[in-house]
Amino acid sequence: MANIIDGKAISAAIRAEIKESTEAFAKEYGFRPGLAVIIVGEDPASQVYVRNKRRACEEVGFYSEAYELPAETTQEELNALVDKLNASDKIHGILCQLPLPKHLDENEVIMRIDPKKDVDAFHPTNVGKIMIGDYSFLPCTPAGVMALLERSGIEISGKECVVVGRSNIVGKPQAMLLLHSHGTVTVCHSRTKNLAEVCRRADILVAAIGKADFFTADMIKEGAVVIDVGMNRRADGKLTGDVDFESVAPKASYITPVPGGVGPMTITMLMQNTLTAAKQSV
């Protein structure tokens, strides 16, 4: 049976470290790191994320502002808010929760956020920096995965790493971070041929395709490290990952559960990025 990587415990440990650094920062500079979170419309999942982000800010001692805008907000109104937050001395990180309602242009918002306050690391400036290995902000979910691996003592150098999923938020930056840690990286996606065969090569498998319980034991090498980025709702309302935990866990050496694996790490990495942004502002 695999070691279960406890994302909640690792996340709590990192938040405690961030809180300590925040207190030292506030003492030295007389202000606290500030995060602004923007949400447009009434998507219930997004509302939960935003509430959790606000709570996390309180926990680590940040200043925070939350903007819950109506679904019919115009691009001009959203742009004006981003401009205001870009100019605010109290705000060091800006996060606009995606997806946005269809009439709004996500790219325009991503491009408008000052790269120095882009704690999602979605702006092309920060994406480009990640590509060349010179980064101040790491995208939150892949950074959370790296922290889980590191704090579990899992070596990446020289390992076969297979990332399944190629989104801008997870798959692509994840591949880059593993590459920077000297993994041999393969990225798979919906058109990959012989997916099971490629997955069976993985010493470290990162599953990020958004399909409930898709990865089964036959796709996993004996002793592999299995990281599940999936967050899917089953018909019965239960939260489940991309990995069929019950069949895969006995075969893996390490595995992340859902919930309680990668999920709690994402917001913690956002806090880390906000602290970094505040430090870089002084």
d(CA 228, CA 256): 6
d(CA 256, CA 262): 7
Pairing state of beta strands 160-164 and 204-207? parallel
Provide the minimum distance between the beta carbon of 153 and ligand GUN in the complex, in angstroms, as a whole number: 26
H/E element, 26: helix 7-29
CA dist 118 → 21, 47, 156, 259 (Å): 20, 20, 28, 27
Q: Which is nearer to ligand GUN, 249 or 270 (CB)?
A: 270
Q: Which residue number has the CB closest to ligand GUN? A: 98
H/E element, 228: strand 225-228
Given the residues 97, 116, 172, 251, the one annotated as active site: 97
Given the residues 53, 116, 117, 172, the one annotated as active site: 53
d(CA 251, CA 246): 10
In this structure, the dihedral spanned by the alpha carbons of residues 149, 147, 82 and 125, taken in order and rounded to 10 degrees, is -70
Interacting residues toward ligand GUN by CB under 6 A = 95-98, 120, 140, 169
Provide the minimum distance between the beta carbon of 22 and ligand GUN in the complex, in angstroms, as a whole number: 21
Provide the minimum distance between the beta carbon of 266 and ligand GUN in the complex, in angstroms, as a whole number: 6
Query: Which amino acid would we find at residue 44?
Result: P
Q: Which is nearer to ligand GUN, 97 or 256 (CB)?
A: 97
d(CA 214, CA 209): 9
Q: Which is nearer to ligand GUN, 140 or 202 (CB)?
A: 140
In terms of Cβ atoms closer than 10 Å to its own Cβ (0-12, 13-18, 19+), residue 158 is: exposed
Q: Which is nearer to ligand GUN, 15 or 221 (CB)?
A: 15
Q: Which is nearer to ligand GUN, 98 or 111 (CB)?
A: 98
Provide the minimum distance between the beta carbon of 120 and ligand GUN in the complex, in angstroms, as a whole number: 5
3-class DSSP assignment, residue 256: coil
Q: Which is nearer to ligand GUN, 208 or 249 (CB)?
A: 208
> DSSP state, 100?
P
Provide the minimum distance between the beta carbon of 140 and ligand GUN in the complex, in angstroms, as a whole number: 5
Provide the minimum distance between the beta carbon of 9 and ligand GUN in the complex, in angstroms, as a whole number: 22
**CB 63, CB 75: distance < 8 Å:** no
3-class DSSP assignment, residue 168: coil
Given the residues 116, 117, 118, 120, the one annotated as active site: 120
Tell me whether residue 53 is one of the annotated catalytic residues.
yes
- The residues that are catalytic are 53, 97, 120
